Amino acid sequence: MSVLKEFRDFAVRGNVIDLAVGVIIGGAFGKIVDSLVNDIVMPVISTLLGGHIDFTNLFIVLGHIPEGVPRTFDALKKAGVPIFAYGNFITISINFILLAFVIFQMVKVVNKIRLMDVPPPLPVPEDVVLLREIRDSLKK
């Protein structure tokens, strides 16, 4: 029974609960940021660059293409043809860079809000100011 008691104590300890909440919130936040990048940022960038940005169909076929299989990424993958899919890597890398930039901007905004909530430092009491003046004059 001591093992069960230890496990219960471990599981209900604040750090484990905080970690569980963080993982759940992080998963939800990841979906929000993913939607922000895919549904808002990428369409704007695509429009600014004059078209649909999709590098997934950039690949090099490494094996034999069976007859009747179209030369598209999805069809070749389904057919089991080995392909060097560098375009998919480029797309995922661009998404990562955009995602990191969006998160960076969000953290900057949160930090500014936190700085606005910080109370100003308390004024130094007059007796401390007077004692500092006496100390400084004694040093001279």
Return the pLDDT at 110. Answer: 83
What is the per-residue pLDDT for 136?
A: 92
Residues 45 and 111 in one domain: no
Is residue 21 domain-shared with residue 85, that is, in the same domain?
no
Task: Give how many domains the chain has, as a whole number.
Answer: 2
Domain end among 51, 70, 90? 51
Q: Give, in order, the Cα–Cα distances in Å from 100 to each of 29, 85, 96, 107, 109.
A: 13, 23, 6, 10, 14
Do 128 and 92 lie in one domain? The reply is: yes
Q: Residues in the chain with pLDDT < 50? A: none
The answer to whether the beta carbons of residues 83 and 71 sit under 8 Å apart is no
> Based on the domain organization, do 123 and 58 belong to the same domain?
yes
- Say if residue 60 is in the same domain as residue 120: yes
CB hemisphere CA count around 48 (13 angstroms): 6
> Does the residue 140 lie in any domain?
no
Contact 73, 59 (CB under 8 A): yes
In 36-85, alpha helices (H): 42-48, 73-79
**pLDDT on residue 46:** 75
What's residue 105's pLDDT?
Answer: 87
